[in-house]
Amino acid sequence: MLQENQGQIRKFDNFRDQSNFNLYFTHLKIANMIVVKVTYKVQDAYVNTNKESIQSFLADFERLDPTQFVYSVFQGADSNTFIHLSQYKNKDIQQTLLNTPSFLHFQEQRDKNLATEPQIEVLNFIGSSKDIFAI
């Protein structure tokens, strides 16, 4: 049976059927996954520039292996609030994205135009309606 200790897989002792086998490997993929939510507000005059900068780094992210991460950005109803939700298969791909030159430029320019400090939340992945990362 699958046993968890604070979200970490510790033991699986029943591979008798394929569904248990698939469940085990699905949980292994999730156990190492990194999920981060960043919420911030920019100044009114910077909203459109922020959206352009986001499109720039997203275009660069599209050139990377899509099986390693999902990066989504949302805009709040007030138009000044932005929410970035990033899901990384592991720390290596997280570091690759965080060190992409266009992303570093985005952060530098955004930080000069913040209306509120970014709120950073590390989340625990519970599940999804589809497989986020293909094996």
Sign of the torsion angle spanned by Cα atoms 10, 14, 20, 22: positive
State the average pLDDT over residues 101-127: 96
Question: Contact at 8 Å (CB) between 40 and 117?
Answer: yes
Show the tokens assigned to 30.
């999730």
pLDDT of residue 30: 57
Q: Which residues, other chains included, contact 120 with Cβ-Cβ below 8 Å and sequence gap of 6+?
A: 36, 37, 38
CATH number of 33-123: 3.30.70.100
Question: Contact at 8 Å (CB) between 52 and 82?
Answer: no
Q: Give the model confidence (pLDDT) of 43-98 as tens digits.
A: 999 999 999 999 999 999 999 999 999 999 999 999 999 999 999 999 999 999 99
CA distance 110 to 41: 9
Grouping H, G, I as helix, E, B as strand and the rest as coil, residue 129 is coil
pLDDT of residue 27: 44
CA nearest neighbour of 125 among 91, 89, 95: 89
Q: Give the model confidence (pLDDT) of 8-38 as tens digits.
A: 433 334 444 444 444 444 444 556 799 999 9
User: What's the whole-model pTM score?
Assistant: 0.76
State the average pLDDT over residues 5-10: 41
So where are the chain's domains? 1-31, 33-123
**Position 100 pLDDT exceeds 90:** yes
